[in-house]
Amino acid sequence: MQNSSSLGRTIRIERRLSSGGFGRVFQATHIPTGRPLAVKLLVSGPGAAREASILSYLRDKGPFVMFIGVFEAEPGVSALALELLGAPLHEAVKTNSHFWFQKRKVYTQTLQCLERLHELGIMHRDIKPGNFCVGLMGSQKRKVKLVDFGLAVQVEGETDEVRKPGFVGTAHFASPFVHNGFEYCFLDDMISLFYVWVDLSIGLPWRELTTLESVFEVKAKTKLASLGQAVGGPIEKVGIWLGALCFHPEARIQPLDFTTLYSLLGEEKSC
């Protein structure tokens, strides 16, 4: 990982790609090589340091955006240099009919992202369509990668302040347990991924609602099994399984059974 003493002087930031509550992402160029990059700008502090640390730990360990380094863009602003990826998943499935035709490919690749992240002891805490992007180059072209680890935490080693119960994530995709103030767990990431699958297939019933309260009001009345049934196929099976799992308190303290999840999707568990 390169640091500010060398990396910052070799990167030219160009155009804005996206903005969010925790940072802005720009397209950039590594001047010596001409390589296109993405640069995420965010306020310097513990949050930026934690995201850089998690990204560094994840480098070359799975289907995650590749971390190149961190530098100070200006006083008080940290810059995370990342590989440049293609469109977020929700845009990719709208513009590429061939990609979306293979629905099971989308389900499986996003599940592989989550499985590997959890194997490495990290909860993402903001699973949503916009945090999966499609690779652009070489062997990674058209492969789904997980991005944006600004809210991610390691299961071991985080402080109580970081992991304290309370709402975290994005309203439309957060687990009902998170709305209700439960401490976040692996199961909540999976429920969010299930919502992603439903949203990409038919749209979530609360898609047009704009407040946390209104979203939760509808979400609380909508069973996972019912959402799965509306989509049909393997997603119906996953919805039934997830819905039943939510009634078992031990599910909130145990790792997810990815072997069963792959089986429900009609796939073999990834290696």
Q: What is residue 138's predicted lDDT score, i.e. its pLDDT?
A: 67
Q: What is residue 260's predicted lDDT score, i.e. its pLDDT?
A: 97
Encode pLDDT of 75-119 as tens digits.
899 999 999 998 888 887 777 655 555 778 889 999 999 999 999
Q: What is residue 1's predicted lDDT score, i.e. its pLDDT?
A: 43
Q: What is residue 94's predicted lDDT score, i.e. its pLDDT?
A: 74
Cβ atoms within 10 Å of 189's Cβ, excluding its own? 23
Residue bearing the bigger pLDDT, 160 or 123: 123
> Does the pLDDT of residue 37 top 50, yes or no?
yes
What one-character-per-residue DSSP string does 206-256 give?
TTT--SHHHHHHHHHHS-HHHHHHHH-HHHHHHHHHHHHHTT-GGGGTS--
Strand intervals (E) in the chain: 11-20, 23-30, 35-43, 67-74, 77-83, 122-123, 132-134, 144-146, 153-154
Q: What's the CA gap between 231 and 120, in Å, rounded?
A: 31
The pLDDT of 214-225, averaged and rounded, is 97
The pLDDT of 52-79, averaged and rounded, is 94
Encode pLDDT of 244-259 as tens digits.
999 999 999 999 999 9
- Rounded percentage of the chain residues whose pLDDT exceeds 70: 90
pTM: 0.92
Cβ atoms within 10 Å of 69's Cβ, excluding its own? 21
Q: What is residue 248's predicted lDDT score, i.e. its pLDDT?
A: 93
Q: What is residue 20's predicted lDDT score, i.e. its pLDDT?
A: 74
249: exposed, middle or buried (C-beta count within 10 Å: 0-12, 13-18, 19+)? exposed
